[in-house]
Amino acid sequence: MAHTPKPSEEARVSLVGAGPGDPDLLTVKALRCIQQADVILYDNLVSEAIRDLFPKDSTALFVGKSKHRHGIGQHRLNDLIVQLAQQGLQVCRLKGGDPFVFGRGSEEMLALHQAGIATEVVPGITAASGCTSYAGIPLTHRGLAQACTLVTGHGESELDLDWAGLARGNQTLVFYMGLSQLERISATLQRYGMAASTPAALIEQGCRPEQRLVTATLAELPLQAKQHGLASPTLIVIGEVVSLSAALAWFGAPSQTLPAALTA
């Protein structure tokens, strides 16, 4: 059966990907949704630089978790979005990265469709793409990686993963939400045959001025994470492509010293 996409003008709710942090990585459509919204519901991963773009006459509600506060919970959040839309408001549900990549956007959309509310999705640049690019790490590179796998490192599912498949070479692994499970991830991949010397990286606060990149071997990665005191949001990248990061560094890299003739 052919599906004709609904024209987005009909949508009461836009599930919008904000990308990984740099406001210049918002899509034109994402920016338009932000500018036209009556209410913007956003969470932790939406950077301050992007929040600065919220229109002054819109209502912005933080619906994420913070150190001192639990989030409002997915069910209550779904109900809230439905209620706002039913009041006739234009709702922008803004999420870090891409709403459909480890973002629970699909769960929210199911609830909205159940309530009969027209909803559109605006894809965003997901962390795996944005953060690696800003760290000079290509997700694929001829001869180094023929595939790329995005994995959730969240402990909820007891990391019930195909470790043998993940440990096989020739691919890049990107773990989202994996920092607290890093020791386990590193040890398990090695147990399933991945070389301890495999290049690996941690990207903290990717695509933002505060971005930090830590590279190490797979075996040393957990220790490096502790030594550098890395915190969320951090992305874990494992694979031979990480070995290119020094050669491809461009973002936040120390600027070249100007030739003496130019500084005189």
List contacts with ligand SAH (CB under 6 A).
Answer: 20-21, 45, 95-98, 101-103, 126-127, 131, 176-177, 203, 205-207, 232-235
**Residue number, 98 or 108, with CB nearest to ligand SAH:** 98
65 counts as catalytic: yes
d(CA 49, CA 4): 36
43 counts as catalytic: yes
∠ at Cα 97 (33, 218), nearest 5°?
A: 175
6, 22, 43, 79: the active-site residue:
43
Listed residue (205, 254, 200) closest to 224, CA to CA = 200
6, 65, 162, 226: the active-site residue:
65
* Cβ-contact 147, 42 below 8 angstroms: no
Q: Which amino acid is at 252?
A: G
Listed residue (71, 103, 68, 67) closest to 232, CA to CA = 67
Least Å from the CB of residue 41 to ligand SAH: 15
**Residue number, 182 or 194, with CB nearest to ligand SAH:** 182
**Residue number, 72 or 89, with CB nearest to ligand SAH:** 72
Least Å from the CB of residue 69 to ligand SAH: 18
The closest residue (CB) to ligand SAH is 97
DSSP assignments along 167-198, one per residue: HSSSEEEEEES-GGGHHHHHHHHHHTT--TT-
Length of the chain in terms of residues written:
264
**Residue number, 14 or 205, with CB nearest to ligand SAH:** 205
Least Å from the CB of residue 232 to ligand SAH: 5
Q: Which residues are catalytic?
A: 43, 65
